[in-house]
Amino acid sequence: MTVTDRTITAPEETLALPAGPAIAHRPLGVFTRPQGSEGWRSWLFTVDHKRIGIMYGAAALFFFLVGGAEALFIRLQLATPNGSVIGAGTYNGVFTMHGVTMVFLVIMPMAAAFANYLLPLQVGARDVAFPRLNAFSFWCFLAGGMLLTSSILVGGWFQNAPDGGWFAYAPNTGLLFSPSKGIDFYAVGLQILGIASLVSAINLIVTVLNMRTPGMSFFRMPVLTWMLLITQFLLLFALPVITVALFLLMFDRLWDANFFNVEAGADPLLWQHLFWIFGHPEVYILILPAFGIVSEIIPTFSRKPLFGYHFMVASGIAIGFMGWGVWAHHMFTSGVGPLSVAAFSVSTMFIAVPTGVKILNWLATMYRGRLRFTTPMLYAVGVVSMFTIGGLSGVTHSIAPSDTQQTDTYYIVAHFHYVIFGGALLGLFGGFYYWWPKAFGYKLNEGWGKASFWVMLIGFNFTFGPMHILGLQGMSRRIATYRADEGFALWNMVATISSFVIALGVLMFFWNVYVSTRNWKRAGRPDVGPDPWDARGLEWMTASPVPEHNFDEDIEVDRLDHFWHRKYGKDENGRIVRAAPTSEIAHDGSNTNVHLPSPSYWPIVLGGGILLVGYGIIYNLWLAAAGLVFLVASIYGWILEPADDPDAAGHHDDHGDDHGGDDHGDPDSNGGPSGNGESATADEPAETEEATVG
Amino acid sequence: MAETMTAEAPGHTPEHHDGEHHTSTGLSNEKLAMWVFLGSECLLFGGLISTYMFNKGRIGPNDVGPEDVFDIPFTSVSSFVLLMSSLTMVFAVSSIARGDLRGNRIWLATTAALGATFVAGQVYEFTAFYSEGLGFTTNLFGSAFYALTGFHGAHVTIGIIMLMSLLVMSMRGNLGPERAETVEIIGLYWHFVDIVWIVIFTIVYLFPQ
Amino acid sequence: MSKRLKALVWLTSLLITAGTVVLIVVSIVVTDDHPLSTLSPVGRQGRDIAELINPIFIVAGVVFFLVQGAVLALWWRYRVAGSDSGDGEFGYYDDDEFPEQTHGNNRLEIAWTIVPTVLLAVISVFTLVALFALDDVKASDEDVVVTVIGQQWWWEYQYHLDGNTDSPPDFVTANELVIPVGVDIALDIKSRDVIHSFWIPKLNGKRDAVPGRSHDWVIQADEPGRFRGQCTEFCGLSHGYMKMVAVALPTAEFAQWRDNQITSADIPQEGTPAGDGWATFSQQCANCHVINGVTSAANRGGDPESAPDSWDIYGEFNGPSAGTYTDELVAGAAPNLTHLMTRGTFAGSAFDLYLNAGDHVPYLNLADQATLNRSELEAWIYNAPERKPADADDLRGMPARTGLSPTDIDNVVAFLSTLD
């Protein structure tokens, strides 16, 4: 396939339309697009899905340190009976922020990092469907994350931190019972994060549905793509529900509405229903990306294709659907009535089936494989092993009568840490090790990686394993301390000591990043090659780090694991042999004629506007009004900004919606990384909507 | 939306503009995004309507309730106005597809005007209810009613702003037949908002019990 | 090491690990003497739950060992040597050998979909049977019904000896729920402010106390004893200190206790320390605390005409007509202290009222006053929020620094000691 460039001819024809193209190009004179791809500015204004993905990852790791520090404070407070390290008031803020941070600011954005970086690559697209919106999602996420995290500091240490638990049950979160600004930070922060995730979900869904490279039918998509797609659909439908709940809470707190005012006849269970209709799919939003990552890593290091691909996809979809029918298992003791309890108890039990299918398929993939226990493989197998524990304890509390003993005890804390830490987080860390060379061009050190894994795994099991025991021995969740004669001292001390072992393991990961980077630079930045692991997905079919334009040309996919099948074939004896060296198959990133969307100021400006509105809602509605005006102005600025930058040099001029004038040689090919660029048309309603809502 | 005009300005032959090409599904990214977004909106209104249903009866015997304030004939008329705006939206879409720019402007303006009439009716209605003693904070019915219909009103208002923006674009000559899909996509949003109102009108006004 | 020896080492360490896990679990279950443990139930409901879940724990344990065993076996059996740095000619592998490229096996997939489904279906049948049996909590009409009311951060118990919760309770007590041994006691669980959860692990699972709602629950104890509990729904600042105790007494002793609780207290003689303590109490404490026969509506700072008695001030929060909900839900509602000395704990059961007292001695007013936990009680009266976080400015909990002198406090304690 030769690469031609046909869009160069376009500018003359700009005049074809009757009125004001000049005005539209630069209507107010300030809309010069940012230029260049070097330096920190290029990161602030980038619309490149890979850079956005990296920024998501970096932000998530930063928040991981914050949430981890909070976890250590929790463990210090609980290390001994009658603990007084931070005291009950601060403790309530710390455990709330720990939960909120880890769920919304660590696991979700880490998954978003992989989704942003990998989805377009795995389906062979040049970028996401709406690159500027994608940048906006990130800045909006960061605005929400900063707003939430700032609650720790404003007005004194943990004075205004949310203190109602991540689940924020009404009426404890009402103004009467939580008079600080904490719950306002919670409600506004989560709304902003919701906008970010919703925009991102729409963007990524359209990307996967619409921008697959020729031949990439749904059942040729990698399992990670599938799991991320399902995750985006869960976000799409779950977020509006929590949005409603948060609005009701905000209205109650700010404007005296009655939604959770028991005196006015309200039933606090409304909050619980709304929260958990969101909250349970949220659990799958956290875990499915990790399932996808594990499904990529295990085949690579088993030298076998994934066992039961279709069943893996189907079980993911089944989890996605069934995840909507189990929310009330969080409410077995809330008084929802025996029939509801029975129905949700049974539905919850059966969601274990598709999850079990996944575990068994991973094991079957390893069966008779040639297993190489590299660091990513260790993490992936760690997920299989640890998640199984979380899954089994999950089944035990689907048994509603027994859940009345277990719920809100440390048994639950143990359970969901095995799921979210042992499942999601280990998977995501495995993903870091696995795709690090793809993103940065060098591998993380294996020795440090393995050491860090084992330290983390041991620390993890001795932190959360004992919590099963504590829970069954009757230790409640969210208690700031416990009496000496309740017999919880031993295992709490074990858990506290082990939590610092986890912290050590995490520090070893950061140290590994530092050491590996340093060594790579000292060695003269050797090229790791496009496919360092001998892997299977399309993302390995281009240079590392991935060039800005992803692929030099369209890839015509002819089957699942297309790249692997280009590399390997069978000889006459049916033995698998190299068909071609990777260097011949993979793109080297030398095609500089591919047209890319131009960087833009507006995404970050809009993110700033949202931050302003957020603080305004919490502190002063005039500030919010000013922020809203700023926001609307920014939206119009965004809309008036040409998606093409006529001033941009070289290949940076965008091709906007010129689907036909695509960068790739084959005008008859349909689909693929054709130049969809972005257009404000479709962005606009969504945007305006969100802005107003936000 | 001016952007889209410039973005697409470079020499597009018609087949590039119907958005039917070069995507895996055949739908343009923008249209697909709108459909996906509306899917999410269904859950937003689903949540709000559920909240309303859950709470409307939770008032005391002497509280202001639905029967005390609703003026069904009035709201029926404004609902009819909103429904008609869907019809005029269809005309707006079809006129621009035909290249009838003047007709397109007329229909866009009509749709926006009908929408504005509906919103004005809602403002009047809120004022009347308030004077009859039903405020946002009065009771659960009040909170839930104003939250639900207020959210819907905000959606209509955003729709009007988008229609007006299209109108301005058209006046400036930036909205030609090649932009038909833009109008169509905003039309999708408009129809969705109308359909939601039919549901709300039925549930809130016609079956207050 | 030879391959064989290596395998032996692996297997041995595996068995040791598995054995240790089993040993720890077994020892925890067998030697369980934790006061809040769910593992050694003493009541019918708790036992039903344990009998339901214990076999499932075992099934889960088997699956656990199968899966972890499979992971380790696959690890052991199929791992291959290679280049750890990935720099070899074949990357991480030593050679270009590929295993058989199996893509799946539909029969296997269907099997491992159906087998767990059937297993879970069986479990669900047992679950549903147990669930509906446990939910059948209707006590007979004549039995005692206790209205359990949670509030920040203690529990109130209103005893309806005739089982009729529509009438005023026969007496009101706090934090320690005393029940006769061997019979089902129906509870009617409510809340005055936020959501709490009532949980005596040895007797039954938990049930939330939700404001505006009334939840039926039932507990029963097989044998006499003190059974500890803890509020298990996060309820704000002092959630961790919101505890409770269920005390099961033999039938005769329960009757004795009940007859005592019905009686009112007497105003102590003037001039005695207790009398002075009463004077202080009536000025400072009686605004919130009720002592039947001693405090009056007037003490509560209200108009005696309109001030409700100790029963209906808390109202039924079934609708907006409840009226005084906001006023009452954080202020005024403080534990009824009429028979304080017959309780083993105070301040939401966060502290022991007696040190080294026998199991159920206080309940029959047989506790030796010498074992009174005087220092804790005095510290509590002096500055309660220091002992247990509270926020009296927001009308939640005892105020900080009541301004009482040591003598005042001694006198108040002397007065409280008469409340038996």
Note whether C294 and C356 are same-domain residues.
yes
- Measured between beta carbons, the chain A residues lying within 8 angstroms of C116 are 352-353, 356
- What span, in angstroms and rounded, lies between the C-alpha atoms of A602 and A194? 19
- Measured between beta carbons, the chain B residues lying within 8 angstroms of C320 are 59-60, 63, 139
Q: B144: number of CA atoms within 13 Å, CB side? A: 30
Q: Does residue C27 sit within a domain? A: no
C313 touches chain A (CB under 8 A): no
Contact A408 C320 (CB under 8 A): no
Residue whose pair of structure tokens reads 């939003």 in the numeric block: A285
| pLDDT value of residue A163 | 93
Q: Does residue C168 sit within a domain? A: yes
Q: Does residue C14 sit within a domain? A: no
Evaluate whether B97 touches B91 at the Cβ level (below 8 Å): no
- Can you read off the two tokens belonging to residue A401? 């009568």
Is the pLDDT confidence value at A372 over 90? yes
pLDDT one-digit tens code per residue, C169-208: 888 899 999 999 999 899 999 988 899 999 999 999 999 9
Q: Does residue C109 sit within a domain? A: yes
Window from A39-48, A301-310, B84-93, C251-260 with minimum mean pLDDT: A39-48
- What span, in angstroms and rounded, lies between the C-alpha atoms of C356 and C344? 10
Q: Which of C107, C135, C163 is the endpoint of a domain?
A: C135
Number of independent structural domains in chain C: 2
- What span, in angstroms and rounded, lies between the C-alpha atoms of C164 and C146? 10
Residue C249: its H or E element: strand C243-249
Note whether C269 and C373 are same-domain residues.
yes
CATH number, domain with residue C344: 2.60.40.420
Note whether C81 and C198 are same-domain residues.
no
- What span, in angstroms and rounded, lies between the C-alpha atoms of B87 and B191? 9
| pLDDT value of residue A20 | 36
Window from A554-558, A677-681, B105-109, C253-257 with minimum mean pLDDT: A677-681
Angle (CA) A369-A372-A374 rounded to 5° is 145
Smallest Cβ–Cβ distance between B24 and the set A20, A245, A671 belongs to A671
Cis peptide bond prior to A545, omega within 30° of 0? yes
- What span, in angstroms and rounded, lies between the C-alpha atoms of A433 and A444? 6
Distances (CA, A) of A522 to A511, A516, A517, A519: 16, 10, 9, 5
Note whether C300 and C176 are same-domain residues.
yes
- Mean pLDDT computed over every residue of chain A: 87
Contact A304 C101 (CB under 8 A): yes
pLDDT one-digit tens code per residue, B130-181: 999 999 998 999 999 999 999 999 999 999 999 999 999 999 888 888 889 9
| pLDDT value of residue A476 | 95
- Can you read off the two tokens belonging to residue A602? 């507006």
A625 touches chain C (CB under 8 A): no
- Can you read off the two tokens belonging to residue B183? 């109008």
Q: How many residues are there in chain B?
A: 209
Q: Is C126 exposed, middle or buried (0-12, 13-18, 19+ CB in 10 A)?
A: middle
- What span, in angstroms and rounded, lies between the C-alpha atoms of A183 and C287? 32
Q: Does residue C17 sit within a domain? A: no
Distances (CA, A) of C157 to C142, C176, C184, C336: 18, 8, 16, 10
Share of chain B above pLDDT 90, in %: 72
Contact B6 A14 (CB under 8 A): yes
* Closest among C256, C209, C214 to C229, alpha carbons compared: C209
Is the pLDDT confidence value at C358 over 80? no
> How close C53 comes to chain A (CA, Å)?
6
A409 touches chain C (CB under 8 A): yes
B171 touches chain A (CB under 8 A): no
Residues 317-336 of C with CB under 8 A from B: 319-321
Q: What is the mean pLDDT of residues A375-404?
A: 95
Note whether C163 and C49 are same-domain residues.
no
Residue whose pair of structure tokens reads 């009101």 in the numeric block: C172
Residue whose pair of structure tokens reads 């534990």 in the numeric block: C335
Sheet containing strand C185-191, edge to edge, reads C171-174, C154-160, C145-151, C185-191, C215-219
Angle (CA) A225-A231-A235 rounded to 5° is 145
pLDDT one-digit tens code per residue, A36-74: 667 788 889 999 999 999 999 999 999 999 999 999 999
* Chains in contact with B, where contact requires at least 3 CB pairs less than 8 Å apart: A, C
- Measured between beta carbons, the chain B residues lying within 8 angstroms of C319 are 58, 60
- What span, in angstroms and rounded, lies between the C-alpha atoms of C331 and C393? 10
B125 touches chain A (CB under 8 A): no
Note whether C98 and C162 are same-domain residues.
no
C247 DSSP β-pair partners? C178, C226
- Measured between beta carbons, the chain A residues lying within 8 angstroms of C108 are 308, 364
**DSSP label at residue A177:** T
- Measured between beta carbons, the chain B residues lying within 8 angstroms of C321 are 60
Evaluate whether C309 touches C292 at the Cβ level (below 8 Å): no
B60 touches chain C (CB under 8 A): yes
Note whether C193 and C305 are same-domain residues.
yes
B87 touches chain C (CB under 8 A): no
Evaluate whether A196 touches A138 at the Cβ level (below 8 Å): yes
Share of chain A above pLDDT 90, in %: 74
Looking at beta carbons, which pairs linking B121-126 to residues 24 or more positions away fall under 8 Å? B121/B74, B121/B75, B121/B77, B121/B78, B121/B81, B122/B78, B122/B149, B122/B153, B122/B156, B125/B71, B125/B74, B125/B75, B125/B78
Q: What is the mean pLDDT of residues B97-124?
A: 95
Is the pLDDT confidence value at C302 over 50? no
B21 touches chain A (CB under 8 A): yes
* Closest among B5, B181, B17 to A23, alpha carbons compared: B5
Cis peptide bond prior to C153, omega within 30° of 0? yes
Spacing of C-alpha C120 from chain mean position: 30
Is the pLDDT confidence value at A682 over 50? no
| pLDDT value of residue B178 | 87
Q: Which domains does chain B have, with CATH numbers?
A: 72-209 (1.20.120.80)
- Measured between beta carbons, the chain C residues lying within 8 angstroms of B138 are none
| pLDDT value of residue A660 | 35
Smallest Cβ–Cβ distance between A171 and the set C71, C204, C211 belongs to C211
Question: Buried b vs exposed e over A356-385: b needs ≥16 C-beta within 10 Å?
Answer: bbbbbbbbbbbbebbbbbbbbbbbbbbbbb
C160 DSSP β-pair partners? C145
Is the pLDDT confidence value at A658 over 50? no
**DSSP label at residue C91:** B
Q: Does residue C16 sit within a domain? A: no
* Chains in contact with C, where contact requires at least 3 CB pairs less than 8 Å apart: A, B
A396 touches chain C (CB under 8 A): yes
Contact C80 A487 (CB under 8 A): no
Evaluate whether A271 touches A164 at the Cβ level (below 8 Å): no
Evaluate whether A116 touches A49 at the Cβ level (below 8 Å): yes
Is the pLDDT confidence value at A676 over 50? no
Find all residues with CB under 8 Å of A374, minimum gap 6, and list them.
A301, A433, A446, A533, C84, C86, C92
- When pLDDT is cut at 50, 70 and 90, the band that residue C162 belongs to is confident
CATH number, domain with residue C61: 1.10.287.90
Amino acid, res. B163:
L
Q: Which of C135, C160, C180 is the endpoint of a domain?
A: C135
| pLDDT value of residue A307 | 95
B24 touches chain A (CB under 8 A): yes
B48 touches chain A (CB under 8 A): yes
Q: State which of A412-416, B16-20, C297-301 shows the largest mean pLDDT.
A: A412-416
Q: What is the mean pLDDT of residues B67-95?
A: 94
Query: Could you list the residue range(s) of the whole structural domain that residue C64 is in?
Result: 40-135
Q: Does residue C125 sit within a domain? A: yes
Smallest Cβ–Cβ distance between B173 and the set A18, A201, A654 belongs to A18
Instruction: Tell me the longest C-alpha to C-alpha distance in chain C.
Output: 100
Contact A368 C99 (CB under 8 A): yes
Report pTM. 0.90
3 state DSSP class of C50: helix
Evaluate whether A495 touches A441 at the Cβ level (below 8 Å): no
ipTM for this prediction: 0.91
- When pLDDT is cut at 50, 70 and 90, the band that residue C138 belongs to is low
Note whether C84 and C118 are same-domain residues.
yes
Is the pLDDT confidence value at C277 over 70? yes
Q: What is the mean pLDDT of residues A173-197?
A: 94
Evaluate whether A579 touches A236 at the Cβ level (below 8 Å): no
Q: A473: number of CA atoms within 13 Å, CB side? A: 24
- Can you read off the two tokens belonging to residue A237? 């439908």
pLDDT one-digit tens code per residue, A272-312: 999 999 999 999 999 999 999 999 999 999 999 999 999 99
Q: What is the mean pLDDT of residues C355-367?
A: 72
- Measured between beta carbons, the chain A residues lying within 8 angstroms of C318 are 265
> How close C249 comes to chain A (CA, Å)?
22
- When pLDDT is cut at 50, 70 and 90, the band that residue A505 belongs to is very high
- What span, in angstroms and rounded, lies between the C-alpha atoms of A135 and A128? 10
C187 touches chain A (CB under 8 A): no
Smallest Cβ–Cβ distance between C78 and the set A309, A311, A371 belongs to A371
pLDDT one-digit tens code per residue, A62-108: 999 999 999 999 999 999 999 999 999 999 999 999 999 999 999 99
Window from A237-251, A375-389, A548-562 with minimum mean pLDDT: A548-562
* Closest among B56, B45, B54 to B155, alpha carbons compared: B45
| pLDDT value of residue C394 | 65
pLDDT one-digit tens code per residue, B40-59: 999 999 999 999 999 988 88
Q: Which of C90, C114, C135 is the endpoint of a domain?
A: C135
- When pLDDT is cut at 50, 70 and 90, the band that residue A688 belongs to is very low
- When pLDDT is cut at 50, 70 and 90, the band that residue A4 belongs to is very low
C106 touches chain B (CB under 8 A): no
Note whether C319 and C386 are same-domain residues.
yes
Q: Does residue C12 sit within a domain? A: no
